């Protein structure tokens, strides 16, 4: 009967370890006390698997049948963690998709969802990323690519399933833009790691903190109102006949993942 008791205890240990892992994934709350008690037995969830093996090995004596049972328990524990992790990842992806959809124009554009599959280094003179959508999804050069925080870049070249997107910070980027608060028009240019916005009217209102947005193009390839970034510093004066601003990009390309390609419906009807 002793061996039955030890096996029951191992099962209880596993159940406690699984419970602690699921509790840990849910974050802080009224179950903190439970985690504190369990921590004295099993330690952090990251050590639960090794703890189960150590405790079970000591109690069961390490026979072949016992070790096989321990392996099964470990597999069950790993599967529980994987299932919980996949669910959390799915919720995050859904949230990101909602954020992207909220930024896209309400009318006149179809959207093609894609993920970043490659990127140039930050020190590279050409700043671009590859995304998982191409001509097979009605994507073509010149179209806008948005992330949750604003304009990520413009499609530069396409293949059937992959496109190269020139980021807004690339030195070759030049976009008609305006100051969101005052409506003043100017030109935004990439500087490699940030942006520079130059007013057409040196007397126009502009200050640090102002949001710079796209002006839009007659072809509608680039919609109006997409965030480019915020002014961090202003230089020049009316006497200099020029006024420009340094702009921190709205989109952090170092964490870029899910994006939408905006396809004008008149030219890309049927894209999704």
pLDDT of residue 5: 47
Between 71 and 231, whose confidence is greater? 231
Residue 69's pLDDT is what?
A: 73
Residue 119 has pLDDT above 70, yes or no: yes
209: left (phi over 0), alpha (psi -120 to 50) or beta: left
Bigger pLDDT: 33 or 52? 52
Q: What percent of the chain has pLDDT over 90?
A: 48
Q: Which of 27-31, 98-102, 164-168 has the highest mean pLDDT?
A: 164-168
- With b for 16 or more beta-carbon neighbours within 10 A and e for fewer, the 43-77 pattern comes to eebeebbebbeebbeebbeeeeebeebbeebbeeb
Residue 46: pLDDT band (50, 70, 90) is very low
pLDDT at 266: 64
More confident position, 39 or 150: 150
The more confident residue out of 263 and 53 is: 263
The residue among 89 and 183 whose pLDDT is bigger is: 183
* Rounded average pLDDT over 118-130: 92
**What pLDDT is recorded for position 87?**
61
**Out of 1-5, 11-15, 247-251, which region has the weakest mean confidence (pLDDT)?**
1-5
Rounded distance between C-alpha atoms, residue 214 and residue 134, angstroms: 24
Task: Report the alpha-carbon distance of residue 241 to residue 238 in Å, rounded.
Answer: 5
Which DSSP helix (H) or strand (E) runs through 176?
strand 174-179
Question: What confidence score (pLDDT) does residue 50 get?
Answer: 58
Q: To which residue do tokens 């969101």 refer? A: 180
Mean pLDDT of 52-71: 62
* pLDDT recorded at residue 17: 53
Asked whether residue 49 carries a pLDDT value surpassing 80, the answer given is no
**pLDDT band (50, 70, 90) for residue 107:** confident
Kindly give, in sequence order, each residue whose CB lies less than 8 Å from that of residue 97, ignoring residues fewer than 6 positions away: 113, 258
145 pLDDT higher than 60: yes
- Flag whether pLDDT at 227 surpasses 60: yes
Separation CA 14–CA 253 (nearest Å): 42
Q: How confident is the model at residue 84 (pLDDT cuts 50, 70, 90)?
A: low
Among 9-18, 160-169, 172-181, the least confident range: 9-18
pTM attached to this predicted model: 0.63
């Amino acid at each position: 009967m002793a061996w039955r008791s030890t096996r029951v205890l191992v099962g209880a240990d596993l159940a406690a370890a699984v419970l602690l892992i699921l509790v840990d994934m849910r974050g802080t709350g009224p179950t903190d006390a439970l985690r504190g008690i369990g921590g004295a037995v099993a330690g952090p969830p990251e050590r639960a698997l090794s703890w189960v093996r150590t405790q079970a090995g000591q109690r069961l004596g390490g026979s072949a049948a016992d070790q096989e049972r321990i392996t099964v328990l470990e597999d069950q524990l790993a599967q529980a963690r994987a299932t919980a992790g996949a669910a959390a990842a799915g919720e995050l992806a859904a949230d990101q998709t909602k954020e992207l959809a909220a930024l896209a124009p309400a009318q006149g554009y179809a959207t093609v969802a894609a993920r970043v599959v490659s990127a140039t280094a930050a020190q590279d003179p050409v700043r671009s990323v590859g995304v998982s959508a191409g001509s097979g999804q009605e994507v073509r050069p010149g179209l806008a690519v948005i992330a949750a925080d604003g304009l990520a870049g413009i499609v530069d070249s396409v293949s059937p399933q992959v496109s190269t997107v020139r980021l807004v910070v690339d030195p070759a980027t030049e976009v008609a833009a305006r100051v969101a608060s005052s409506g003043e028009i100017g030109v935004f240019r990439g500087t490699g790691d940030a942006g520079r916005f130059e007013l057409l009217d040196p007397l126009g209102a502009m200050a640090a903190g102002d949001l710079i947005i796209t002006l839009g193009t007659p072809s509608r390839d680039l919609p109006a109102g997409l965030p480019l970034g915020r002014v961090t510093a202003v230089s020049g004066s009316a006497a200099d006949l020029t006024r420009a601003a340094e702009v921190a990009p709205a989109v952090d390309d170092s964490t870029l993942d899910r994006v939408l390609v905006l396809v004008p419906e008149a030219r890309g009807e049927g894209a999704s």
